[in-house]
Structure 1
Amino acid sequence: MRKFDWRFDMGASAQTVNKVNKVQMGDGYVQRPKAKINNKLTNWSGTKTGDLETVINPILNFLDSQQGMPFLWVNPWGEECKYTCEEYSTTQRRGNLWQISLKFEQTI
């Protein structure tokens, strides 16, 4: 499995999702069993800023080659996990300085 070797800029954010199967009963009672064994996932969003040719284009090439398929990445907490990245956007900051915004979803 390929590894995403870049770090996010300072200010990355984590969103933890606990997946449950909600079953609503007619009397207002709700059952909430865990959706699966690994039901706690942490998704990340952040940015990376740098030179278009040496920083941003290699990231774009990596993500384009993955086409939404899983890869390994060491998150800001130092944990290596599997993630996918289906959404990303680039913004020119000034001259040849660009920023890429990334959304990583943890997968099992």
Structure 2
Amino acid sequence: MKVDKFKWKTMHSPNGGEKMSITEVKFNDGYSQIWSSGINKSNETWDLSYTGHCNELAEIRQFLNSHIIHSFQWVNPWGEERLYRVQNESIKSEFISSNVVKLSFTFVQSYAP
């Protein structure tokens, strides 16, 4: 299966986060045990936005809508190429003028196409 690639360069200030998949058990004496859960221990999210003419951003918007379920490759700001998908309901359009729009969305790390 061919995996698409997000080809547009990052604009503005990308905001990334990492969530570790852990399990923790705390005891009454203050002691706690913590361990990682599952095969994929961490999960990245990236909040991104692009501002430009509506016609220019239409291709990006189309790509985003077609990759909510299907994964794609993207090189994150750390320079790491990984699989991501678009988080459902994260695509937002803010019209600055009649022809200029700010398109915001969130990428969530994925582990299989």
Does TM, scored on the shorter chain, surpass 0.5?
Answer: yes
User: What is the distance in 1 between the residues matched to 2:48 and 2:68?
Assistant: 19
What TM-score, normalized to structure 1?
0.84
User: What is the distance in 1 between the residues matched to 2:20 and 2:94?
Assistant: 32
Cα displacement (A) at 1:7 = 2.4
Match of 2:84 in 1: 83
Ranges in structure 2 where 5+ consecutive residues have no aligned partner: none
Match of 1:102 in 2: 105
The alignment partner of 1:22 has SS state of: strand
Match of 1:65 in 2: 66
Cα displacement (A) at 1:105 = 0.8
Residue 9 of structure 1 pairs with residue 11 of structure 2: yes
Q: 1:46 aligns with which of 39, 45, 48?
A: 48
The alignment partner of 1:33 has SS state of: strand
User: What is the distance in 2 between the residues matched to 1:67 and 1:106?
Assistant: 12
Residue 21 of structure 1 contacts residue 32 of structure 1 at CA under 8 Å; is this kept in 2? yes
Residue 4 of structure 1 contacts residue 71 of structure 1 at CA under 8 Å; is this kept in 2? yes
Shifted more, 22-31 versus 37-46: the winner is 22-31
Q: What residue identity is the alignment partner of 2:33?
A: Q
Ranges in structure 1 where 5+ consecutive residues have no aligned partner: none
Cα displacement (A) at 1:48 = 0.7
User: What is the distance in 1 between the residues matched to 2:64 and 2:53?
Assistant: 17
Alignment root-mean-square deviation, CA:
1.8
What TM-score, normalized to structure 2?
0.80
User: What is the distance in 2 between the residues matched to 1:46 and 1:82?
Assistant: 16
Cα displacement (A) at 1:28 = 5.8
